[in-house]
Amino acid sequence: MWIQDILAKKKTIFALSPMADMTDSPFCQIVRMIGGADVVFREMVSSEAIVRENAKTMGMTDFVESERPIVQQLFGADPLTMANAAEIVMRHAGPEGIDINMGCPVYKITSNFNGCALMKEPSRAAGIIREVKRAIGATPLSVKIRLGWSDPDEFRTFIPIIEEAGADLITLHGRTKVQGYAGVSDWDRIQEAKKIATVPLLANGDIHEPSEVWEALDQTHADGVLIARGALGNPWFFSLAHPLAQQVDLKEKMRIIREHARLHLVHYGRGNLITFRKHLAWYFKASRLGCEIPHIKEIRACLMQVNNFSELESVLERVAPLQ
Ligand SMILES: Cc1cc2nc3c(=O)[nH]c(=O)nc-3n(C[C@H](O)[C@H](O)[C@H](O)COP(=O)(O)O)c2cc1C
């Protein structure tokens, strides 16, 4: 039971939030390798694709042992399909937990009653939770929600419904679906949610810097935090959030980028790094580098054209020579 295990050990849960196309196995391995995160949530996969045993989607649920404890997120609108998919994922990959996406605001997802659209249909949402719970037995089931669809107070009625249906943990992004990413995550409302919830609750949204973790915990009284964008290009986020953390120098950053690229190549087996460029863009944001680097604009432009490992090596050498 990953939730109780972590809470019994250290009181607060530091978790990597699910991010489509980003929190894949190589990135989760890097986060775990650096340390500081208690659990990683893998990006959402479609329950419909899982029950069809679509090879690419099944592959997205694969992980290596070092990623544990790991939670696999599913999205879908049909209770029985979701239950079937959860059972298949448990049999195929055996993660520590299953998470249900009830927070995604993207039209492609909500137009099929998936993601945050489920907050408009509490009885369907409860049905999904009940069926998935029945399918996965003792495996913890978490649910990721927003404050509401358009009303930022919807969580007040929604939380008791999903708890009653069987949610073991709730993660709450402090925005509505209608807000998308506009405005700021409402940590005061997350505090209200924490008072309502009887299961552990993780705060999410706008915890961009490691130092803000403690601010968010103080303000929300949540049982932990779920970090998304703050960890992109910054897999050190979780270790840096610990009080006695040491800053990371440029050489170490370049070493981890090399290692991440190597894992990416091994995982995707494509022989090129084109799909790794999105991570490079994050790693080389000014806020991530933490120091001035000569010719940085030119270096960023080169990185966005990197095709293979040796091309990447030669750009990284310019930033911080290995010897
Ligand atoms: C690129 C990207 C992909 C995301 N994919 C997912 C996803 O698959 N499932 C999910 O529940 N949330 C997803 N989210 C939302 C994040 O998990 C998180 O709730 C949101 O970004 C707010 O947290 P932050 O301020 O720490 O980024 C995604 C966010 C980003 C930026």
pLDDT of residue 291: 86
Total domain count, the chain:
2
pLDDT tens digits for range 169-214: 999 999 999 999 999 999 999 999 999 999 999 999 999 999 999 9
Check if the beta carbon of residue 203 is closer than 8 Å to that of residue 223: no
> Both 205 and 116 in a single domain?
yes
> Both 165 and 263 in a single domain?
no
pLDDT of residue 18: 98
Q: Name, in order, each residue with C-beta under 8 angstroms of 182's C-beta and a sequence gap of 6 or more.
A: 175
Q: Is the CB of 228 under 6 A from ligand 1?
A: yes
Identify the segments of the chain with pLDDT beneath 50. Answer: none
C-alpha span between 40 and 286 (Å, rounded): 26
Two tokens, residue 86:
């959860």
> Both 310 and 199 in a single domain?
no
pLDDT of residue 77: 97
> Both 87 and 208 in a single domain?
yes
Select from 39, 229, 287 the residue to mutate for testing ligand 1; criterion: most ligand atoms less than 8 Å from CB.
229
> Both 222 and 270 in a single domain?
no
C-alpha span between 210 and 246 (Å, rounded): 12
Closest of 187, 168, 175 to residue 150, by C-alpha: 175
> Both 103 and 131 in a single domain?
yes
Query: Domain containing 190: what range?
Result: 2-240
> Both 82 and 180 in a single domain?
yes
pLDDT of residue 158: 98
Ligand 1 atom closest to residue 43's alpha carbon, by position in its atom list? 8
Amino acid residing at 296? I
Centre of ligand 1 to C-alpha 230, Å, is 10
pTM (2 decimals)? 0.96
Assess if residue 245 is contained within a domain.
no
Q: Is the CB of 204 under 6 A from ligand 1?
A: yes
Last residue of a domain, one of 193, 210, 240: 240
Catalytic annotation on 28? Answer: no
Select from 14, 16, 17, 24 the residue to mutate for testing ligand 1; criterion: most ligand atoms less than 8 Å from CB.
17
> Both 105 and 180 in a single domain?
yes
> Both 192 and 55 in a single domain?
yes
Check if the beta carbon of residue 234 is closer than 8 Å to that of residue 288: yes
Q: Is the CB of 207 under 6 A from ligand 1?
A: yes
Q: How far is CA 54 from CA 60, 84, 109, in A?
A: 10, 14, 18
C-alpha span between 235 and 19 (Å, rounded): 14
> Both 159 and 230 in a single domain?
yes
pLDDT of residue 137: 95
pLDDT of residue 323: 57
Long-range Cβ contacts of 49-54 (<8 Å, 24+ apart) = 50/74, 50/84, 50/85, 50/88, 50/89, 51/81, 51/84, 51/85, 51/88, 53/88
Q: Is the CB of 115 under 6 A from ligand 1?
A: no
> Both 209 and 261 in a single domain?
no
Backbone dihedral region for residue 294 (phi beyond 0: left; psi -120 to 50: alpha; all else: beta): beta
pLDDT tens digits for range 224-243: 999 999 999 999 999 999 88
